[in-house]
Chains A and B, each alone.
Chain A
């Protein structure tokens, strides 16, 4: 395959060029084996049905990949998918999804990232980019103003993300180019390698960075000159005005500290996993909280396209450990995974670990989970034969673990496979120490407190996921946005904290439909939008005549299509499960003695299957698939 042959150019639709449409109607296709570049053209029906983002990812995986391929098979797809609202004027829409078949879980991978990449992709003239095949040497994809080109990336291979982005911008002589890329972790096929955007915005979960690495695809760089239009600008102003009037009150937490403001609170409430989910509290947790790190490590704030909230942190430090501000700062999940999960309470070490994950392209949640699992194995004398053995509480060991994972050195080669594959290799009852669902390390929202969240982990087509889920502790308060949405549907609120009642399953059904809609549109979950806001936004963007039930139907369609993909890939109801650690209560702390039993989880799953219209084996029925027009 030849590289650097110049842009292959495609014509844009007149409606898009005129600024009257939020979608271009063109999905860019690239075959890295043959070097072919073409576009799929889609009409309004396609966007009504699949919206973009996760919906588009599931559509292409079902349509174009053979069942049960190896995720590193060149037939697997890497899909970058903004949504119908990405790049529009609506606040909170600076996001897009990245997906394919996950090398960590063998299930669906679909993670969302903020920043500017998604909006720039739309401005460059494409609703999504679908990449297949495998290049014979390292390449990157360059997309500009309705054209695309495969370029040589030999000199970029091996670079950290900060250096790679700078090199691409220099090579193409434009500092405003937005870069999605992998670091050395993806190149070395670490199964939880992230796809990084704008250096520090991760589509982190499920290992799509490794799929890019398997294709010798280092990066996708975009730059666009088109405006993402609207069918009805006045209609869009309704939702714009509402959020602009309310975000300072409703998102005050994000404006003040971002998600880092929740660290101590989550710890004190029993939300955070500590020492691989073994303990109920950790000494020194306050040192990791925003109230501490803002005083000496957080030097600036950053944001995403069309967002005045600026919840992103920028850390910087010069000293024993230097912190490079290009790599941003840690979110709650990263702090929890690289902090208490590994019994680390040194904020400088935690932020350095976060920087390394961004520079090498690693998912911080699975990195923290896998290192903590390894530390517990080491503590119990279950791993030997290696000179380097990380221990809980040792900051240097955490940082060295990350280096060894990225380059698959020594024990790092085992850790690069994730905790589930490690447990299978080690045996000796280490499966009892796993904190995972569908092969993916748990986020740091303890299902022993948040029971519905736990059920959501078990059901998620993408492995344990806290975002397209219901947050039990949020839903106990009537002022939470979830309860505003549930009341729009006529449901009673608030929800009770403990257990999984039929009422909570009904709420989960609707909330996951709404969240799957958000992940397809693609919209930031932090924005407290309600159904009517999305109805008005779709009307403003596409000129669509929809109601709130249509929003749910779109979400339900995407959940069912993802379930169909799981079934096709060989998953059964027995895989809708949580690992052993989640059923073992802590002995002390705010949720001491609390945990669901496996039978309670199974009972809840059966009630959820029934609510979805699935069989008792959790398989969508033909009736449901036909109603949702999936086949």
Chain B
């Protein structure tokens, strides 16, 4: 997992997405070196959902750069009550 915003790397990371962010369970290998937000906007297109990005179980900023071997999950967020 990266600690800097601009680091560019090569290799692959693993993305896992579930409902309700996507219509069905997705597991896919993706290229490292891109920002989380750039990658995720291609996969999560449903309106009305927000999410937190976790890499290896730890919360990261979506503007950070994906590193090789990252396991990426997204947790949907709602507020209220």
Contact = CB atoms under 8 A, between A and B. Distances in A.
Interface residues of B, number: 25
Interface string B8-48: 00000000000010000000000000000100010000111
B48 A333 contact: no
A533 interface: no
A496 B61 contact: yes
Given A259-B78, A590-B54, A476 B61 contact: yes
B28 to A, nearest CB: 20
A528 interface: yes
Nearest to A480: B50
A154 B54 CA distance: 56
A261 interface: yes
Q: Which of B52, B79, B81 lies at the interface centre, i.e. has the most chain A CB atoms within 10 A of its CB?
A: B81
Nearest to A481: B48
Given A249-B48, A473-B52, A590-B58, A445 B78 contact: no
Contacts of B37: 494
Interface of A, secondary structure class, is loop
Contacts of A606: none
A270 B49 contact: no
A259 B48 contact: no
Interface string A465-499: 01100010111111110000000000000101110
A253 B21 CA distance: 10
A471 B58 CA distance: 19
B50 A467 contact: no
Nearest to A466: B79
A251 B78 CA distance: 10
Contacts of B58: 590-592
A417 interface: no
Contacts of A526: 80
A333 B81 contact: yes
Given A262-B76, A479-B47, A331 B63 contact: no
Interface string B60-81: 1111000000000001111111
A269 B59 contact: yes
A259 B61 contact: no
Contacts of A252: 20, 46, 48-49
Contact of A331 (B49, B77, B80): B80
A477 B57 CA distance: 19
Contacts of B49: 252-253, 477, 479
A266 interface: yes
B52 to A, nearest CB: 4
A269 B77 contact: yes
A528 B48 contact: yes
Contacts of B41: 478
B24 to A, nearest CB: 15
Contact of B51 (A246, A259, A270, A477): A477
Contacts of B63: 496
B48 A265 contact: no
Interface in A239-295: 246, 249-254, 256, 259, 261-262, 265-266, 268-271
Contacts of B62: 476-477, 494, 497
B20 A256 contact: yes
Contacts of B80: 259, 331-333, 467, 525-526
Nearest to B57: A590
Nearest to A453: B79
Given A253-B76, A269-B75, A497-B59, A334 B81 contact: yes
A416 interface: no
B50 A259 contact: no
A449 interface: yes
B48 A269 contact: no
Interface string A317-339: 00000000000000111100000
Contacts of B75: 265-266, 268-269
Contacts of B59: 269-270, 449, 497, 590-591, 594
Contacts of A590: 54, 57-59
B31 to A, nearest CB: 22
A302 to B, nearest CB: 14
Contact of A259 (B47, B54, B57, B81): B81
A303 to B, nearest CB: 15
Given A265-B75, A449-B59, A473 B81 contact: no
B48 A253 contact: yes
Contacts of A478: 41
A490 to B, nearest CB: 21
Contacts of B47: 246, 249-250, 479
A269 B52 contact: yes
A269 B54 contact: yes
A466 B60 CA distance: 22
Nearest to A331: B81
A471 B48 contact: no
A97 B81 CA distance: 15
A256 B78 CA distance: 12
Interface string A495-513: 0111000000000000000
Contacts of A592: 58
Nearest to B64: A497
Nearest to B45: A479
Contacts of A268: 54, 75
Contact of A498 (B46, B61, B76): B61
B6 to A, nearest CB: 14
Contacts of B60: 497
18 contacts: A250-B48, A252-B48, A252-B49, A253-B48, A254-B78, A259-B81, A262-B76, A334-B81, A449-B59, A466-B79, A471-B77, A473-B50, A477-B49, A477-B51, A497-B60, A497-B61, A525-B79, A592-B58
Given A473-B77, A476-B52, A477-B62, 10 more contacts: A246-B47, A261-B20, A262-B79, A268-B75, A476-B61, A494-B62, A496-B61, A497-B52, A498-B61, A591-B59
For the complex of A and B, the 7 pairs showing the least CB-CB separation, nearest first, are: A331-B81, A333-B81, A250-B48, A269-B52, A269-B75, A477-B50, A332-B81
